[in-house]
Amino acid sequence: MDKVKLVWSKMNRWHRLLLLFLVSEFQLFPGGKIGFLCNDPALSHQFNGDTISWKWLLVTVILLPLVVMLLIEKAYNSDNKTDRAKQQALRWYKEYMFGVLINLTVVHVLKQVVGSPRPHFFDTCSPKEALTCETGEYVYSYTCTKAGWVSQSDRSFPSGHTSLALHAAVFIVYYLQQRTSQVKPPAVFASQILCMMIAVYCGLSRMTDHRHHWWDVVAGAVISLPILFYTIYSLCNNFHCLNIRSSEAPNIDNTNKQHSTLLNNST
């Protein structure tokens, strides 16, 4: 135990969080398993795939905020002699990704601990107990007969798609609100609306695809909010410019004055 404590103390926040994520992802601790009502119509939907796949979601969540921040910081940084705009965007992006990792870890731990059947549970799990039970009977323990879905049919709560989509969307919307002028250009306002519409669509698609119950989607959205608050106000300092050492940025005094004026205009 002392060795474990020593190793843990030497790890930074990224290593610790990544370790927790991997433990939950590979299910290295015993999880829960909620039973089912025999012939429950809420669990009797067909599995038809995902409208928004995990690959597309992750690519968007990872890359879009970086592109947006690099473009906005470059547009609002008049000092072309330094890389301050790029440095600032990368600092915030690093903290944003830490928030994403928190989100993923919390969602995966809850999926493992709760063990809630998905709406397509009977189709993809095909529990053998469902063949002999009577309608209305509650089955506490079951065994899936489709090996490929043993670790996925009972991971409905909460919705990771919804949580990550809302995390990225609200982060971008609030960032644009803070880092652009008081009179928003039409493109900025349209981008904010589009981000929120895509996040809402992602959540709704999880229900129409019968991949999650409505309460899973609501839970995913609720989970993202405190993580977003921590990411924006604590990790990103509410998008106030950070100090950059003079060795990293020549003429730092002039640059600080320019960014102070920008912050006054954006608040």
Domain-embedded: residue 113: yes
Residue 266, pLDDT score: 42
Which of 95, 105, 230, 238 is CA-nearest to residue 163?
Answer: 105
Give CA–CA dist 184/201, Å, rounded: 25
Asked if the structure places residue 24 within a domain, the reply is no
State the pLDDT confidence band at 80, using cuts at 50, 70 and 90: low
Q: Tell me what the pLDDT averaged over the chain comes to.
A: 86
**pLDDT higher than 90, residue 120:** yes
What SS3 class is residue 220? helix
Report the pLDDT averaged over residues 189-194: 95
The answer to whether position 62 is within a domain reads yes
Q: Looking at residue 7, what is its pLDDT? A: 72
Domain assignment present for residue 65? The answer is yes
* Rounded to 5°, angle at Cα 107 from 106 and 111: 120
d(CA 71, CA 56): 22
Q: Which of 20-29, 78-87, 128-137, 161-170 has the lowest mean pLDDT?
A: 78-87
**pLDDT level of residue 260 (50, 70, 90 thresholds):** very low
Looking at the 3D structure of the chain, how many domains does it have?
Answer: 1
Rounded-to-10 torsion of CA 37, 38, 41, 43: 70
| pLDDT confidence of residue 11 | 83
Q: At what angle do helices 84-114 and 160-179 cross, to 10 degrees?
A: 160
**How far apart are alpha carbons 55 and 41 in whole angstroms?**
30
> Would you state the pLDDT for residue 249?
41
* pLDDT (average), residues 5-13: 78
pLDDT higher than 50, residue 247: no
Average pLDDT over residues 171-179: 94
Residue 186 is part of which domain span? 31-241
Distance CA 257, CA 267 (A): 16
pLDDT at residue number 79: 64
Residue 79 lies in a domain: yes
One-letter amino acid at 125 equals C
106-115 exposure pattern, b = at least 16 Cβ within 10 A, e = fewer = bbbbbbbebb
Give me the pLDDT at residue 38, please. Answer: 94
Sole residue written with tokens 């969080």: 17
Inside any domain, residue 191? yes
Please compute the mean of the pLDDT values over residues 164-189 and round it to a whole number: 90
User: Is the per-residue pLDDT at 8 higher than 90?
Assistant: no
Highest mean pLDDT among 19-23, 88-92, 118-122: 118-122
C-beta of residue 192 within 8 angstroms of C-beta of residue 173 = yes
Q: What is the pLDDT of residue 87?
A: 87
Closest to 121 (Cα-Cα) out of 43, 67, 53:
43
Determine the pLDDT at residue 77: 63
At 82, is the pLDDT very low, low, confident or very high (cuts 50, 70, 90)?
A: low
- Residues contacting residue 67 through CB under 8 Å, at least 6 positions apart: none
Position 265 pLDDT exceeds 60:
no
Residue 12 placed within a domain:
no
The pLDDT tens digits for 152-170 are 899 999 999 999 999 999 9
Q: Would residue 17 count as lying in a domain?
A: no
